[in-house]
Amino acid sequence: MRLPQTGGCHCGRLRYEITQAPHMIYTCHCTDCQHFTSSAFSIAMLVDAQAFHLTGVEPRAMLHTADSGRNLTRWVCPECGSWICNGAKPGSVNPNAFRAVRGTLDDTSWLRPTAHFWTRSKHPWVVLPDERSYVFETQPDDIFAFFNSVVAKARGAIA
């Protein structure tokens, strides 16, 4: 995998670059992701917020309250509706934050998810890989603590 990796929305008006290998790649099989993507699951890459650089048109915020009561913001292309990322407004996050970038890279051939969330609503025909991975029937109570522990582990392996 070469850096930077580039990606963007379907119509091409919104583009981005990732300047760091993702800490983790995960799938989400929750019913929100299934509806929002009109597919079986969504894919996301966890990167440091400062390693994600958006260019082109301003993304549009789609606000949603999950069943858990959590407020979610999805950032989409205002023209074609492609889902680009979640969280605080791109460019406005604190430097220690992570960004979950959705699976919209130009080259997705190297993506290998190692965590799978909300498998209780997974389509029955989706078979998860045998490789060692994190599998959650729902999601960790504190997903940010989980992300932090994965990142700390990844950094420890490099150091």
- Distance, in Å, from the CA atom of 159 to the CA atom of 154, rounded to the nearest integer, reads 9
User: Closest approach of Cβ 113 to Zn ion, in Å?
Assistant: 13
User: Closest approach of Cβ 121 to Zn ion, in Å?
Assistant: 9
Alpha helices in 2-139 (DSSP H): 31-37
| Token pair listed for 29 | 């099989």
- Name beta bridge partners: 16: 7, 54
Q: Does residue 13 belong to the site contacting Zn ion (CB under 5 A)?
A: yes
> In the complex with Zn ion, which residue's Cβ is closer, 30 or 51?
30
> In the complex with Zn ion, which residue's Cβ is closer, 2 or 70?
70
Near Zn ion in 27-86, by CB under 5 A: 28, 30, 33, 77, 79-80
Q: Which residues of this protein are in contact with Zn ion, per CB under 5 A?
A: 9, 11, 13, 28, 30, 33, 77, 79-80
